[in-house]
Amino acid sequence: MKTQPTSLRVRLPVFVFLTEVIFVGLYAFFVTYDEHANARFQTNHTDHMHNAVYTDYPFFTDIQVMIFLGFGCLLAFFRLYGFGGMVFNFLTATFAIQWAILVQGYFQFSHDGKIHLGVINLINAEFACAVVLISFGAVLGKTSPLQLLVMALLEVPVFAVTEWAVLKYLKINDAGGSILIHLFACYFGLGVTFVLYRPRLNEGHVKENTSYQSDILSVMGTLFLWVFWPSFNSALTLKGDDQHRAILHTFIGLSASTLTAFALSAMLNKNGKLTMADVQNVTLAGGVTVGASVDMMISPAAAYVLGMLGGTACMLGYKYLSPFLARRLRIQDQCGIHNLHGLTGLISCTAGICAILMATEDVYGPSLYEIFTHRAPVEGDPKLHELQMLIPGLQPGLGRSAQEQALYQVAAVFSTIGVSALGGILTGLVLRLPYLASPSDDFCFDDEPFFEVPPDYDSPLKLNNTMTADDTDA
């Protein structure tokens, strides 16, 4: 058996301890509590039930489950890479969240030279973490933990800057993160795997397979993601009817994509059987396809159709597009993130643009200008005063028309894809450095180079009670 030529005994501890020291310094100098966590802002007249923790923490805990259990179990589908899928997800997620609190905090939550930390910051940081974990799926089993940490170190700032620029200058609507989370993560990950291309893997790898137990564990991850996805899509929407619609649309979309996944899985299998990879991934497509329009008045029927479209596109992508990308374009997308996040993200963005074009006061009433804040009248416009009488606290907007807002959405899609793909390619070039302990082709999809594994971890599965056709009456 060939031995792994690289070791993490020095490299991983040096990187982790060095970044921890830097993080401690940055947190000490630049991070403080926000007004909901700072004791100095509490008085005898403070109503503690108005604290943001009571509205934001339930969403935070749901997203925690998705990040650490959902993604962790989902990525453990390789028979010999269960430790790597779950544990490297744990390691990378923890690092990415700590780093995102600082980077996103600088752009979004910084006042008077300090980052003001509250639960809402943690939710935003976990969205940035989700971006990294989606990208991780493209290189699953082909990278060392050190490479994954470096990828998170580089991806989080690129994402934070892109997010800040798109929201500040293009001013788009993207409640479920179809543009800024799913499309960014997808094309960043594809950029990385394009640079890390391994020709031998196209020939089929002996360890690139699953087992009965690993597939069950992966489906558990799918179920965690499925159940908590409504919280993911609605966490940052406006409280009230907007958040209510987001939850409803997400559930309907997920339900539709699930039924579609089962139907297509049986139909496209020549034996008419279900494929576990379809159940693990395609069932989630509806959560992405409703994302861009999740808080809008698109109707429950439209959410259902979007779920069906997402499931169909994702299924066809797995069956036909992924092999083509690997053979022709040097893109070895290990988890099929282009199908679950890229294709569905594009469908979602298209639906969101259509919803924006059709949004009128007849459908939304005055709240149109709360949901589409940049369509609100500008300061000094008499109509703004009339609207503020109906909706106290309504802020002046940019006076955009529906068509103008739709064009900005289109610009955000193309700019996000371009920046993320370029960032992924540059990150891939960094990850090719030999110091980062990349596993050799022979040790891809294998826990042994990085973990103390049980002696029987790679033994063939033994079935003590094998039943043959002759033993049954069927």
For residue range 433-455, what is the model confidence (pLDDT) as tens digits? Answer: 988 989 999 999 999 999 999 98
Residue 471's pLDDT band, with cuts at 50, 70 and 90, is very low
Residues 84-90: contacts with CB within 8 Å, 24+ apart? 84/140, 84/141, 84/447, 84/450, 84/451, 85/140, 85/141, 87/451, 88/136, 88/145, 88/148, 89/133, 89/136
pLDDT at residue 6 in the model: 56
In 3D space, the residue among 163, 34, 67 whose CA is nearest the CA of residue 107 turns out to be: 163
Give one word for 21, left, alpha or beta, with left for phi > 0 and alpha for psi -120 to 50.
alpha
In angstroms, the CA 286 to CA 254 distance is 4
End-to-end Cα, the chain, rounded Å? 44
Q: In what side-by-side order are the strands of the sheet with 110-111?
A: 31-33, 114-117, 110-111
pLDDT at residue 43 in the model: 72
For residue range 106-116, what is the model confidence (pLDDT) as tens digits? Answer: 999 998 899 99
For residue range 14-49, what is the model confidence (pLDDT) as tens digits? Answer: 999 999 999 999 999 999 999 999 888 887 667 788
% of the chain at pLDDT higher than 90: 85
pLDDT at residue 93 in the model: 98
Tokens of 300: 């429950």
Mean pLDDT of all residues belonging to the chain: 92
pLDDT at residue 69 in the model: 97
Cβ neighbours around 110 below 10 Å, total: 14
For residue range 234-268, what is the model confidence (pLDDT) as tens digits? Answer: 999 999 999 999 999 999 999 999 999 999 999 99
Q: Which of the two residues, 205 and 461, has the higher pLDDT score?
A: 205
For residue range 368-414, what is the model confidence (pLDDT) as tens digits? Answer: 999 999 999 999 999 999 999 988 889 999 999 999 999 999 999 99
pLDDT at residue 45 in the model: 66
For residue range 160-171, what is the model confidence (pLDDT) as tens digits? Answer: 999 999 999 999
Based on its alpha-carbon atoms, the radius of gyration of the chain, rounded to whole angstroms, reads: 23
Residue 299 burial (10 A CB sphere; 0-12, 13-18, 19+): middle
In angstroms, the CA 92 to CA 13 distance is 14
Cβ neighbours around 308 below 10 Å, total: 20
How far, in whole angstroms, is CA 28 from its chain's centroid? 29
How far, in whole angstroms, is CA 418 from its chain's centroid? 18
Burial 368-396 (b: 16+ CB within 10 A, else e): bbbbbbbbbbeeeeeebeebbeeeeebeb
pLDDT at residue 393 in the model: 86
pLDDT at residue 44 in the model: 61
Listed by start position, the domains of the chain span: 11-39+53-358+401-438
In 3D space, the residue among 290, 264, 291, 286 whose CA is nearest the CA of residue 277 turns out to be: 264
Tokens of 79: 């028979």
Q: Which residue has the tokens 């002696």?
A: 455
Identity of the amino acid at 103: V
Residue 462 has pLDDT above 80, yes or no: no
In CATH, the architecture of 11-39+53-358+401-438 is Orthogonal Bundle (1.10)
Residue 118 has pLDDT above 90, yes or no: yes
Residue 461 has pLDDT above 60, yes or no: no
Of the ranges 2-6, 55-59, 150-154, which one carries the lowest mean pLDDT score?
Answer: 2-6
Residue 144 burial (10 A CB sphere; 0-12, 13-18, 19+): buried
For residue range 290-342, what is the model confidence (pLDDT) as tens digits? Answer: 999 999 999 999 999 999 999 999 999 999 999 999 999 999 999 999 999 99
Identity of the amino acid at 307: G
Measured in degrees and rounded to the nearest 5, phi and psi for residue 290 equal -90, -5
Residue 4 has pLDDT above 70, yes or no: no
Tokens of 470: 């002759």
Residue 460's pLDDT band, with cuts at 50, 70 and 90, is low
Residue 466 has pLDDT above 50, yes or no: no
Dihedral (Cα; 184, 187, 192, 193), 10-degree rounding: 140
In angstroms, the CA 146 to CA 144 distance is 5
Residue 468 has pLDDT above 80, yes or no: no
Q: What is the pTM of this model?
A: 0.94
